[in-house]
Amino acid sequence: MINILYAGSVSACFELENNSPYYSGEEYAVRLNGEEVMTSDRNVFSLYPLKPNTEYTVEVEGHEPVHFTTISEACAVSVKDFGAVGDGVHDDTENIQTAVNCLPEGGRLYFPEGTYSTAPINLKSHITLDLSEGAVLLGSTDVSRYPVIPGTVTDIVTGEEVHTGTWEGNAIPMHQALLFAEHAEDIRIVGKGTVDGNAQNSEWWVNVKERVTGRPRLIFFNRCKDITIHGITAQNAASWQLHPYFSQKLDFLDVSINAPKNSPNTDALDPEACDYVNIIGCKFSVGDDCIAIKSGKIELGRKFKQPANHHTIRNCIMQFGHGAITLGSEMAGGVKNLTVNRCIFAHTDRGLRIKTRRGRGKEAVIDGVLFENIKMDGVLTPIVINMWYNCCDPDRFSEYNTTREKLPVDDRTPYLGKFTFRDMDCENCHVAACYCDGLPEMPIEEITVENIRFTYDENAQEGVPAMKNNAEKLCRSGMYFDNVRKLTVKNVELDGCVGEPLTANHVDELIKE
């Protein structure tokens, strides 16, 4: 079957239904209304430019044809009609912002081929940005052009806090993102163009730990809903590339996200305290985590009790990041109902990477995580569940966060529930196959590893499997579990493991087949 993932006014996205991660296994031709328009070897493909309010038929050999109709739009206007030059020299900020401001509900702003130099742009509800092939929104390198947004402001009538800015799980000041929306809905950013933060030519990546105010993200949505980002390339953000925050109904489809491997904190896509998120057919290669699912640190978790919920990640490829898919460490509101399948992780430090620790709080519940039909190659440690994460925050080296003694369970204690890993092929591992370390007072509830094959790189290099205090370096290590209530290991093969293939300490129930 061919599934329709998205059909807008000028673009559409489709997914082939099969069991192959990311790639279809062979090249195929796509016909649109009887005419061949493209070939592909990926499970997800996109068509553009299309015409609004038009009926189409898509055909791929071996699949049933699909019929769809693009949506209508109020109008479509070119940004150049508002004075934008697109030569990479002229400052097009005011021209772009004026065009956005003038768009009616249901309007589309079209960017022809060109390089549009810009400072931050404020988006609004019910509009489409359409970036044609060869169109680049290029971020200004002038730090002063990125306004500072306070973490909170006070309602002058009620005295209540209104959250506006955020940085790494706290409501603290941040610089405005290049594309920015708060309390908006029905926004679409589509096309074959590029949004480039241009941070490599600025000061944003210099002395990052000395900065008091959070660096700008490339695209930021705060308390928005019904957002679609389709087809574009996003790259070279000052910090995280795409950051939806306390938002819902988000689709990221056939998007490419890039940053140099040595760029600081350039996570590709970090949905934070969001609900109903689809990440399908995307390609990531960045300097930090490829996808990091978050829900704030303890103050936000206690106040809003908003978990990251109902996330689907499918037919994506993650390359070179610290973690292919990371949960936390800012997850004090919890992470629930995550499904990851038909993906490829290549040369990341870790495959699944869960980061939490004492002090994240009782709302920090991670539960209902399923990884299946995953192919990994060159991943240092494919599965890491770490309840002793020791980065960030002043208390990371405290006795509270280092002692292996069983402490009382209280309002600061996080909880990890059920995790299932099955039908995975993990080639050329380096450090360890699997490393899961729970808390003695709050063991990981249940882990299932089933139908998984691990092999090791012939030139495997030693390393630390999990970022925690007093961690030992390992090389070609097997599966390690500590403080788990129920562990099921079925049909797992470790080819080239050095030492014990399975270490299970403080596991209440072990099922091994």
Residue 155 appears among annotated catalytic residues: no
Q: Which of 175, 311, 322, 430 is catalytic?
A: 322
In degrees, rounded to 5, the angle at the alpha carbon of residue 175 between the alpha carbons of residues 171 and 181 is 80
CB-based contacts of 457, cutoff 8 Å, min separation 6: 378, 428, 429, 430
Q: Where are the beta strands (DSSP E) in 20-164?
A: 23-32, 35-42, 44-47, 55-60, 66-69, 75-78, 87-91, 107-111, 114-118, 121-122, 127-131, 135-139, 148-149, 152-154, 161-163
Which tokens hold the place of 499? Answer: 């030492």
Euclidean distance between CA atoms 309 and 355, whole angstroms: 17
* Helix or strand (DSSP H, E) at 346: strand 335-346
Residue 288 appears among annotated catalytic residues: yes
Phi, psi torsion values for 406, nearest 5 degrees: -75, 115
Which tokens hold the place of 192? Answer: 């074959």
- The answer to whether residues 116 and 79 touch, using CB atoms and an 8 Å cutoff, is yes
Q: Which of 254, 288, 349, 393 is catalytic?
A: 288
Which tokens hold the place of 184? Answer: 């908006």
- The answer to whether residues 456 and 449 touch, using CB atoms and an 8 Å cutoff, is no
Residues that are catalytic: 288, 322
